[in-house]
Structure 1
Amino acid sequence: MPLPLPALFCPIEPRIHPEADAIEAAATAWWTGGGYTEDATLLAHTAATRSGVYLARCLPDCAPDRVETLARWSYVGFAFDDLYCDRGPLAADPAAFLPLAARTVAALDSLDPAAADGVGLVTALQDVTRRYAAHAAPAQLARWTQAHRRWLTGAAEQIAYRSRRHVPGPDAYLVTRLSSVAGEVGWAGIEMSLGPELPERAAPAVRALGELATLVTMTDNEVFSAAAEAQSTAHGGTFDPGLFDALAHARNPPLDHRSALDAGIALRDRALVRFLRLRAQIAPRASRPLTRYLDALTQMVRANLDFSLDMLTARYAAHGVRPPADRAALFTDRPSDDSPAPPPLPSLAWLWSDLSL
Structure 2
Amino acid sequence: MTKFELPPFYCPLPAPRPHPDEALLERRALDWLESLALFTDPVNRARSANTRSHELMARITPDAPADLVQFGVDWAYLAFAFDDLRTDTGPASTDTTSLRLWFEGLDYAATTLDTTGLPEDGFYTAIADLSARIKNATSPALWRRWLTDNKSTYWAGVWEAARPTTAHAVTFSGFLMIRPHLGLGPSTLTCAEVAAGLDVPEHERHDPLVRAITEAAWLLITLDDDLYSYPKEQWTAGHTDQVSPAQPIPISILMREHHITLAHAVHLLGQIRDRIMAKALTLAQRAAGRPYSSDTHIMIDTALHAVRSTLEWAQHAPRYTDPDGYHPGAIDLDWAGITHIPPATTDPLPYQAISWWWDV
**Partner secondary structure for residue 81 of structure 1:** helix
For the residues of structure 1 that align with 2:219 and 2:251, how far apart are their CA atoms? 14
Distance 2:113 2:277 in 1: 37
State the partner residue of 2:266. 261
Distance of 2:137 and 2:245 partners within structure 1: 43
Indicate the residue corresponding to 1:185 in structure 2.
187
Does the Cα contact within 8 Å between 2:322 and 2:329 map onto a contact in 1?
no
1:315 and 2:323 matched: yes
Aligned to 1:14: 15
| 2:93–2:161 contact (8 Å) kept in structure 1 | yes
Give the total of aligned pairs.
348
Deviation, 1:210, is: 2.0
| Structure 2: unaligned runs, 5 residues or longer | none
- What one-letter code is carried by the residue in structure 2 that aligns with 1:343? L
Superposed displacement of residue 169, structure 1:
1.1
1:130 equivalent in alignment to 2:132: yes
Cα distance change, pair 190–249 in 1 and its aligned pair in 2 (3 A): same
Could you tell me which residue of structure 1 aligns to residue 251 of structure 2? 244
1:212: which partner in 2? 216
Contact 1:37 1:121 in 2 (8 A): no
- Map 1:163-202 to 2 at 5 A: 163-164=165-166, 167-199=169-201, 200-202=204-206
Shift of 1:150: 0.3
For 1:272, the equivalent position in structure 2 comes to 277
1:10 partner letter: C
Structure 2 counterparts to residues 38-117 of structure 1, below 5 A: 38-114=40-116, 116-117=118-119
TM-score, normalized by length of structure 2?
0.88
Q: Distance in 1 between matches of 2:227 and 2:139?
A: 37
Residue from 280, 290, 298 that aligns with 2:296: 290
Root-mean-square deviation over aligned CA pairs: 2.4
Segments of 4+ in structure 1 off by > 4 A? 163-166, 228-236
DSSP-derived class of the 2:5 partner: coil
Contact 1:217 1:304 in 2 (8 A): yes
Partner letter of residue 103 of structure 1?
Answer: G
Asked whether the 8 Å contact 2:210–2:287 carries over to 1, the reply is no
**Is the 2:10–2:338 contact (alpha carbons within 8 Å) kept by the matching residues of 1?**
yes
How far 1:138 moved relative to its partner?
1.5
Preserved contact between residue 137 and residue 196 of structure 1 (Cα < 8 Å): no
Name the SS for the 1:214 alignment partner.
Answer: helix
Deviates more, 1:236-245 or 1:180-189: 236-245
Q: Is the 8 A contact 2:10 2:341 kept in 1?
A: yes
Label 1:46 to 1:165 Cα distance change in 2 as closer, same or farther (>3 A): farther
Letter in 2 for 1:318: P
Shift, 1:33, TM fit? 3.0
Contact 2:10 2:339 (8 Å CA) reproduced: yes
Question: For 2:342, which of 335, 342, 352 is the aligned residue?
Answer: 335
Inter-CA distance 112–230: structure 2 relative to 1 (3 Å threshold): closer
- Aligned partner letter, 1:331: I
Bigger relative CO (Cα 8 Å, ≥ 6 apart)? 2
- Identify if the C-alpha distance between structure 1 residues 267 and 30 changes in structure 2 by more than 3 Å, giving closer, same or farther: same
1:250 match: secondary structure? helix
> What's the CA shift for 1:156?
0.7
CA separation in 1, counterparts of 2:92 and 2:14?
A: 39
